Chain A
Amino acid sequence: MSANREILVLAEHRRGELRDVTFEMLTLGKGLAEKSGCKLSAILLADKPEHLAGKLVGWAETVYAIADARFANFNSELYQLALVDFIKKQKPALTLIGHTAFGVDLAPALATGLAMPMASDCVGFNFDGSNLRVTRTVYGGKLNCDTRVRPAAQYLATVRPAVFPPEAASYTGRVEAVTSVVTDEVTYRRFLEYVEAAVGDVDITKSDIVIGIGRGIKESKNMAIVEQLAKTMGGVLACSRPVVDAGWLPKERQVGSSGKTVKPKLYIAIGISGAFQHIAGMKSAQTIIAINKDPNAPIFAEAHYGIIDDLFKVVPILKEKIAALKGS
């Protein structure tokens, strides 16, 4: 059974808005389609798809739109029922899904249901229409991993967000309505509601100077060192995920894909190795400084200036130097 020479991108949307990763995947898909001689399509599952589909026609030749009131909120089990049916009929050679809270919940089970090889969290693609090789990252981004996907007629891959820069619209595609095949109610998983992110006393997105603390701080009592630096500099303390997990700073101070996105004039990453989830939340800072004792920490590929040393040695002295400069 041969596949269609078609690359299919699953449009991700939430609360009536297409998510950035959708356009990133369509831009990636366009390049892959041109190289492999495939056509580029998008599939949109929504309660009222017209508006979003109208937008997507600028980024794909065909936008398949499945309307169903039950798609109003994301439910991976419902999505899976619809997509298994659609992908079996349409037979795209490659299906792309975002490696997001939405895609991670959906793609592995979908690929298993379709008995299709899947590559997860890909940051690079090499696809000639029948063979797929991808690049992934391992060990928290310290190493890249070129990965071969077993030859198959159809593949599925999840795409890391914020890796492939989205381009402007360049297609004048068309919308093709597809009838929803989901007839049974999904009773084993039900969406109830959204709960908004916590709001704290400090809004880290409003500060010109953000000092991000990571796992390297090691213990709660060490927070005093960085608190003093933040105070001296007139900045706010923020952090990567492990610091929130340990309870040393509240959730609303977390910078990263599941926390906040900050764009300060100055971001100082202290003891942060630079997992992609964190990078996604701070890479737009005007100036980035990293202090880390591991010279191979991925954060140094994002920072403008770096100090490779023990933060416990460097940070207290830095505080003194800054205080002296401010006084002069």
Chain B
Amino acid sequence: MEILVCIKRVPETAEAELKIGPTGKEIVRENLVFDTNESDNYALEEALLLKEKSGGSITLISVGPQEADEVIRMGLAKGADRAIRITDAKLAGSDGYATARTIAQAVGDLKYDIILCGCIASDDGFSQVGPTLAEILGIPHAVYVTKLLVNGNVAKVHRELEGGLIEVLEIKLPAVLALQTGINEPRYASMIGIKRAGSKEVKVFDCSGIGLSENDTGEPGSPTSVERLYVPPKTRQAEIIKGNADEVTAKLAQIIKEKGVLQ
């Protein structure tokens, strides 16, 4: 089975303090640690599991700067076979739609049975690329996938709904599946895998290399554009308890006691 996996290199911001750059439209990226987008990492693992079960090969696709090779190499080290990276200054300002359009163009004539991607990018959070890509390619899709069983050209898929309810459906392949985190347990790359990754092929294209008009990507190809980033205005803010660890815990314990919930 031929599997395409879309991966994105993103800054890890869950525990980092963010600074807004001078344009007011992007964050300062220096001093941030970058990694594979979390749900994309699950998509890669699901591809590796599929390949182990039914054979075939995995092609990674990433849209981003040269530094995206960090996450591409990690994917190759884990067992992906080859990669395509689309890198071009003209991609700057791409929103979810333009990114999907770019990936669709890169998919072009590639052979594939299934396309796996994450359900959300931890940076811009569009949750838009997977289903948009499917629509452009003219194939079905499902989002928030938490279980995947492939049987011939049909996939039985679990989708996670609100409240933990699961929707079970059947989808004809090829399809785009946007996977939710937790669907599997992503592996670590082995030393031998990391060594082998060096000899695997990463094809790099610019927009013209995949036949993508500059009107179809970057800012000109994006229906939405960032005007301004800012720290959300605080409509409410917790009363911050100040002091050393001993003092703050003593005060907090007292507050908890006064709430009368301790049995």
A residues near B (Cβ < 8 Å) are 14, 19, 73-77, 99-102, 104-109, 111-113, 117-121, 133-134, 136-150, 152, 187-198, 208-209, 215-216, 233-234, 241-242, 244-245, 247, 251-252, 254, 257-261, 265-266, 273, 286-290, 293-296, 298, 300-309, 313-314, 317-318, 320-322, 324-326
Contact = CB atoms under 8 A, between A and B. Distances in A.
B240 A308 contact: yes
A100 B123 CA distance: 19
Choose among B131, B158, B166 the residue with the greatest number of A CB atoms under 10 Å from its CB.
B131
B33 to A, nearest CB: 14
Nearest to B167: A194
B147 to A, nearest CB: 9
B211 interface: no
A192 B169 CA distance: 5
Interface residues of B, number: 87
Contacts of A137: 125, 232
Interface stretch (B55-63, B79-87, B132-140, B202-210): B132-140
Given A101-B161, A293-B15, A318 B249 contact: yes
Interface in B142-187: 142-144, 156, 158-172, 175, 180-182, 185
26 contacts: A101-B160, A108-B127, A108-B131, A108-B132, A111-B132, A112-B97, A112-B132, A139-B11, A140-B125, A143-B229, A145-B226, A148-B227, A191-B168, A191-B169, A194-B165, A198-B164, A254-B164, A257-B162, A259-B163, A259-B164, A287-B261, A290-B238, A294-B17, A296-B18, A301-B232, A308-B240
B239 interface: yes
Given A108-B131, A294-B15, A304-B239, A289 B171 contact: no
A105 B252 contact: no
Contacts of A14: 161
B241 interface: yes
Nearest to A241: B181
A196 B257 CA distance: 38
Given A137-B125, A244-B182, A194 B166 contact: yes
A188 B172 contact: yes
B49 interface: no
Choose among A118, A134, A308 the residue with the greatest number of B CB atoms under 10 Å from its CB.
A118
Q: Is the interface of A mostly helix, strand, loop or mixed?
A: mixed
Given A119-B224, A149-B223, A295-B17, 9 more contacts: A73-B167, A104-B127, A146-B227, A146-B229, A196-B166, A245-B182, A286-B259, A305-B239, A321-B250
Contacts of A303: 238
A77 B169 CA distance: 12
A121 B126 contact: yes
Contacts of A147: 224-227
Contacts of B172: 187-189
